[in-house]
Each structure stands twice: as structure tokens, then as C-alpha cells.
Homo-oligomer: A and B are copies of this chain.
């Protein structure tokens, strides 16, 4: 049931990207739909192999790259070193990272979005994309 749902959703994403629907890609996209975190390629690979053991590293990277290039997936590099992925179908948000636990939270601020556009405009620019990350420590008071 849940599997069917994700599977169909996933197939749609793949077709939208102009990619053929293969077992391996279905496994990868399902992992992305089920992910509640921001997995990197290695984690996606491991989880996808749980669904279909035949998924190779090359296919994981190629599929993630293709989906990201088509704009269906967002790439993040929170720490540096590893690229993390997130479905672009999710509503826009920025990230708050707990530097002690590594937990990543999401937030939205229309005020900040608005200020960003104003700043870009002052320089004569239009924003194509932006990245806002807050690295934080839990307040102990």
C-alpha cells in the first residue's frame, strides 16, 4: 500500500526527468520519498540496496545526479565534503543544523525571503537560488 504509493510517485518523478523507469531507480527514488533526513549518496545507496540488492554505486550517483540536474532533487553541502540530497517536491525551506548532534531542522521565514530579494535588487540582481544555514547549539539557560 505505502509501497505502491511511493512507487507510483517515484515513477512519476523519473518520467518527469525523462529517465527510464528501472528497478534500481525505483529503489533509489523510494528511498528519497521515505527519507526524513538529508542522506548523502552513500546512505541512499545502502538504503536502496535494502530494497533492491542490485543497485550499484555508479547507478546511485548517476541517478541522483540526473535528478538533481533536472531540478527534481536539491543538493546540499552542509558540512563540506559530502553532498546530501532532498526531494525538490518538498516546499521551500532553509536549514538549522544542531552542530552538537548533527540534527538538521527546517524552517521558513517570509521576512528573510523578502529581505533577500530586496538586497539582491539593490545590487541590480534577481535571485536564482539561495542557501541559508544556521549552525547552532542548544541554548542552556
Chain A contact residues, CB within 8 Å of chain B: 75, 77, 80, 83, 96, 98-99, 105, 107, 109, 111-112, 115-116, 119-121, 123-139
Interface residue from B99, B123, B132 paired with A128 (Cβ < 8 Å): B99
Residues of B within 8 A of A112 (CB): 112, 115-116, 119
Evaluate whether A125 and B111 lie within 8 angstroms (CB atoms) in the complex, with A130-B135, A134-B130 already known: no
Residues of B within 8 A of A119 (CB): 96, 107, 109, 112, 134
User: How far, in angstroms, from A102 to B130 measured CA to CA in the complex?
Assistant: 15
Name the distance in Å between A54's Cβ and chain B's nearest Cβ: 29
Evaluate whether A115 and B123 lie within 8 angstroms (CB atoms) in the complex, with A80-B83, A130-B134, A130-B135 already known: no
